[in-house]
Structure 1
């Protein structure tokens, strides 16, 4: 009788121990593996697709689909980014997010020569201007106009005209092949003698976002080979600093 009881215990123990291992484990493991395998490609595809998107294409798509229109406001030169920060703060504190959507101060990398050393500096592309994407209402106009550092809208101050797609794109678009172009311009400059410029002389801009535009020389820095020129933008003369190699005599 003792042998029968022992045999029964031996017969029932494997069934209780093996059932969870052979029955439950595969059923729980399989869905987890399938779920992981199904999600991973979706995440990878989305990341890789956004990573390779052309920034120029992305900018054009954004400009065409974003709400509101782009307007230009005057600011004190050197205060452009401060105006941007204060305007964004005023937009939030005065609950104008549904009317004022975006504020931009286009920047650019430029080469400056100091003490014979060339340095790449980050600077405002067009000093004295800030660009705002907004729905123009009396309230939103007042928020922008009363921002410290803002001197007014470009054009009709009370009923400003928005920028066209081409105008805002040219202002916000990143420079394409700029390093290569500068290198080419510098090589040509070395091959020929440095021209003698005169204050008041008319020249043509040969590099950067204002390429092909006429300009008038306002100041000459022969030591650093820099010119301060005036370019007419939105009906107003705007000062720019350019290298000798970035302009051509007319």
Structure 2
């Protein structure tokens, strides 16, 4: 079952090797010309602040120890490259014997990426200060506003919305707005 649609898959790895597997997949994708099929590799982590002996220390914990998320198009070649990466023991959702795995549901990956503070989808939003956008997600969904600031690094923008006869400014993620045609 070859799929030419981008989907997220879960890889099982040796525990403690998640970051090494991520680096290996990224370098193999580049060196083997698979950049058009293997997109993002994510090791879900969360940072906690622990106080020990009166000193605050940030500790990074793996959200899913032994697992790595990869966004890819499932072709025979991309499956082979990822599956045979050192440290990868297999795909979650694959029944073995060379069968392809089932991708994560969109709701599952949206929830995981949002909890990590990451964009749930790659957005090719082309807006400039002064453009009008339609808000498609969040508290202001359905409203239109004027862009006052664009931060392409963080994929955020500031939009002025006219509410109750007053201008209200809000900060939104790129994925929360759409261009108005």
Q: Which category describes the TM-score, using the shorter chain as reference length?
A: 0.5 to 0.7
Question: In the alignment, is the contact (CA less than 8 A) between 2:93 and 2:102 conserved in 1?
Answer: yes
Match of 2:113 in 1: 172
Aligned residues: 110
In the other structure, the counterpart of 2:44 is 106
- Give runs of aligned pairs for residues 110-129 of structure 1, distance below 5 A: 110-115=48-53, 117-129=55-67
Which residue number corresponds to residue 95 of structure 1?
Answer: 33
Deviation at 1:175, TM superposition (A): 5.9
For each residue in 1:180-208, what CA deviation from the matched residue of structure 2 results, as whole angstroms up to 9, or x when unmatched? xxxxxxxxxxxxxxxxxxxxxxxxxxxxx
2: CA distance, partners of 1:162 / 1:173:
18
- In structure 2, what is the equivalent of residue 86 of structure 1? 24
Structure 2 unaligned blocks of 5 or more: 118-181
SS at match of 2:115: coil
**CA RMSD across the alignment:** 1.9
2:174 paired residue number: none
Deviations 1:138-183 (CA, angstroms, capped at 9, x unpaired): 111110011111110002242211001111111111368xxxxxxx
Contact 2:13/2:89 (8 A) holds in 1: yes
Larger RCO of the pair (alpha carbons < 8 Å, separation 6+): 2
Deviation per CA, 1:206-228, whole angstroms, max 9, x where unpaired? xxxxxxxxxxxxxxxxxxxxxxx
Greater helix content: 1
Shift of 1:118: 4.4
Unaligned 5+ residue runs, structure 1? 1-66, 177-250
Residues 151 and 114 (structure 1), Cα distance of their counterparts in 2 relative to 1, 3 Å cut: farther
Q: Please tell me whether Structure 1 or Structure 2 has the larger radius of gyration of its CA atoms.
A: 1
Q: Which moved more, 1:117-126 or 1:102-111?
A: 117-126
Alpha carbons 2:13, 2:67 under 8 Å: kept? yes
Structure 1 match to 2:122: none
